[in-house]
Structure 1
């Protein structure tokens, strides 16, 4: 991407693009014609399996009010007790909390370029796929990566945090 292309993008997508560029990631964000607020919408827009969507779920850790980012496969549901066992008791994060901590609105939370670094966990189910897609800071923005890239970009541990 050149500078002019970046300027036309929403602010959150520009932050994600800059973080990916700084990390030497080969795939820059792309903007979809339709919003991809859910994993199913994103998968439909990209013509891929819903499991290939790396969905970002934000929880609020009760002990210190930290944001906890769980990145899992779009066809899986997070098991909150498994998350709590790893990071401490969590609760739901409302839209205001998500925006304040991440800098992104719900439906566009990227795994990178957060306003405040979250506690991050990557669910191992994403490693079923060679290629995955994640939100890029806006409900229309996504970027391509491999599960191993996600691990390298975030420095997060790979764990089991989904329901059976």
Structure 2
């Protein structure tokens, strides 16, 4: 197992008391479509973690996370409104790695270095099992979506287009 995927599994166990089975794929799972193809599931069952930077207001510069269904596109205006900011934009990859502890393409929905306010796409709750990144662009883990929202301390709210 890749060392970062092993680190993710260890964090899940230590922080949340959850044993996750990490699935790794040679072809990579950087996009929701690639992950769904590798897993043989619907794109909608992929729980993509997108880190966004807020601007304006009291939360200027704050990073937040949105765990969205791979079938949906995140609406940055809705993110800004939800988190009471003037605007929102995709987070800077270097800053995400520095603050969150994971690189783009492998950012898991839980186990970050810093706690992030998190929104959770209600579309994911329509699946029995969803798959989130497990620390690398080629690793995922399976989880019940309601349990994932709970572990991520996420608010279930539709912030998609």
Cα offset for 1:26? 4.3
Superposed CA offset, 1:45-94 (max 9, x none): 01111000001111112233221110010000111121111112322212
SS at match of 2:29: coil
Report how far residue 31 of structure 1 moved.
1.5
Unaligned runs of 5+ in 2: none
| TM-score, structure 1 as length reference | 0.88
**Structure 1, unaligned runs of 5 or more:** 1-7
Q: Is the 8 A contact 1:52 1:129 kept in 2?
A: yes
How many positions carry a matched residue from both structures? 155
Is 1:75 matched with 2:68?
no
Residue 14 of structure 1, CA deviation: 2.7
Offset, 1:25? 2.4
The alignment status of 1:158 with 2:156, answered yes or no, reads: yes
TM-score (norm 2): 0.89
In structure 2, C-alpha distance between the alignment counterparts of 1:157 and 1:130, rounded to whole Å: 19
Instruction: State the Cα RMSD in Å.
Output: 1.4
In the alignment, what sits opposite 1:86? 82
2:2 equivalent among 9, 32, 42: 9
Contact preservation (8 Å) 2:9, 2:19: no
Structure 2 SS opposite 1:58: strand
Match of 1:110 in 2: 108
Shift in Å, 1:32? 1.4
